Structure 1
Amino acid sequence: MKRLLPLAAFLTFASVGPAHAQLFGGDTEARNQIHQLRQDVQGQLETTGRGQLELAMQNEQLRAEVARLRGQIELLTNEVETLKQRQKDFYVDLDARLRQIETGAPAARAGGDPAAESADYEAALNLLKEGKHQDALTAFDTFLTRYPNGSFSAGAHFWAGNAALQGRDTASANKHFNAVLQNWPQDNVAPDAMLGLANSQQAMGDAAAARRTLQGLVERYPQSNAAQVARQRLSAR
């Protein structure tokens, strides 16, 4: 009986040995799998982190671009407002000078309505001051049809020419400026009309015609403010 005990113990160890080895071998494989899994997760985290960093950088670039564009829009808006104010000031100043000129204008023709004529002229002029160039041109054309020989005819043609020029209608501008020069060459608005004609010719791309008109302006109206402007332009070319 005692001889059988060592044999049983040996058989038991022998049977447990492979299972024990199998257990440790399986544990190593599990650790390898866990290690691989950790590496995969770490790689995904690093990839996700880089993606988030790139996205954050792109967002920051977009914010900077939006801020830059807003700055440009604000700058352009200010420039437009400045130009509008300058244009308005120009019209107000020139209108004031013309009002002084037109105080000595001839009376309206018999049977006319001076008050209505003045009101219609003012209405057309106000449209021009508001920057409504096409509406102003239409109003001045209507005015000239209604009062062809009125006391404001020369001024109406002059302002109609300016309205047309501002609206890039150079053909109409030329027509109205030339009407002043042909019908009222001695009127005080004539020098400014001739300067307007040069501006219109320049806008049409006819620099040679514009130069000839400026030279003619200096010769015909040498003492006028418009002639002074013409001299400055001629000397700059």
Structure 2
Amino acid sequence: MSFNKAVIRSIALVAASAAPFAFANSPAQGLSPAAAADLLFQLESLQQEVQQLRGMVEEQEYELKKIKERQKDRYIDLDKRISLIMSTASSQAPQEPVNSSANSTQPSGEVGVAPVAVAPISQSAGVNGSNTELEGGSSEGPLSVVEITEPSDEAKSAYKASYALIREKKFEEAAQAFDDFVLVYPSNTLTGNAHYWLGELKLVLGKPSEALDEFNMVVMKFPNHSKVADATYKLGIVNDQLGNKDEAKAFLQKVVSQFAGTNSATLAAGYLNNME
């Protein structure tokens, strides 16, 4: 470390400056008490400086260790998110439209929570019963349930092409493609899925507030969609990561109560236990 080298150079410099003095006052010429005391003082001062420098080095090493640990934790978290997206993408069949009806059968190969018949999350109240504006500071007004239509062949092709970018790990391009998809096709049976994947992609790209917007889109505009349980769970997780503890608990408790028996409910219950 360059800092350690600086310490060594400092010690050498002091020793070198003291050497001529010690030689000039060698026993052959006689070492006066004053000179001996002065030399002893210099040595004690040098020892104190070395101790101080050593303490500074140890403090810097400790801080560096903490920084490395934080970077490692962030890398592991990012790697888990990417692995989750890739494992899900490899097993999903995007060419089959995902029916957003809660009473429909989930296509084979779709990873996530199976659709269950549940009461949709209230459109007139948010998590705390106050409003339905998007979490994360979105400027959009209250969201209303969209009237679902069947996707056209063009929509299916666009969705499939967007999804393929996830498999290719082109996350920036995939996010842009899905952004375009939801603008062009705002209300077909694939739009809810597109918003959900946009949320996942925004997390991978380090944009948690935008991820909240996308997960909220799924919950509020597509209340009977098969991805609502997953999206609500993610709203809880991301809010917790952003420090919004009350909102996080409200979303997670909603998953446990409204989607009992699903994988998302199990995960939400476990997460709540860890928060307490």
TM-score, structure 2 as length reference: 0.48
SS of alignment partner, residue 236 of structure 1: helix
Match of 2:99 in 1: 102
Cα distance in structure 1, aligned partners of 2:84 and 2:217: 27
Identity of aligned residues (%): 23
Matched residue, 1:155: 193
Give the Cα–Cα distance (whole angstroms) in 1 for the partners of residues 212 and 83 of structure 2.
26
Q: Give the length in aligned residue pairs.
A: 154
Match of 2:89 among 91, 95, 116: 91
Unaligned runs of 5+ in 1: 1-75
Aligned to 2:215: 177
* Aligned CA distance change for structure 1 residues 224 and 136 (closer, same or farther; 3 Å): same
SS at match of 1:102: coil
> How do 1:7-156 residues align onto structure 2 when only pairs under 5 Å count?
87-93=85-91, 95=92, 101-102=98-99, 104=104, 108=150, 114-156=152-194
Q: Runs of 4+ in structure 1 displaced over 6 angstroms?
A: none
Deviation at 1:209, TM superposition (A): 2.3
Q: CA deviation at 1:85?
A: 5.2
Contact 1:98–1:189 (Cα < 8 Å) also in 2: no
TM-score scaled by structure 1? 0.56
User: 2:236·2:252 contact (CA, 8 Å) conserved in 1?
Assistant: yes
CA deviation vs aligned residue, 1:77-127 (integer Å, no higher than 9, x gap): xx89x856565213334x359958539596526xxxx22211111111122
Cα distance change on mapping 1:185 and 1:125 into 2, 3 Å: same
Give 1 or 2: higher helix fraction: 1
* d(CA) in 1 for partners of 2:265, 2:204: 21
Structure whose CA Rg is larger:
1
Q: What secondary structure, in the 3-state scheme, does the structure 1 residue paired with 2:189 have?
A: coil
Seen in structure 2, the aligned counterparts of structure 1 residues 107 and 185 have a Cα distance that, compared at 3 Å, is: closer
1:229 aligns with 2:271: no
Q: 2:190 matched to 1:192?
A: no
Calculate the aligned-residue CA RMSD, in Å: 3.1
Amino acid at match of 2:252: L
Partners in 2 of 1:159 and 1:116 — Cα distance? 19
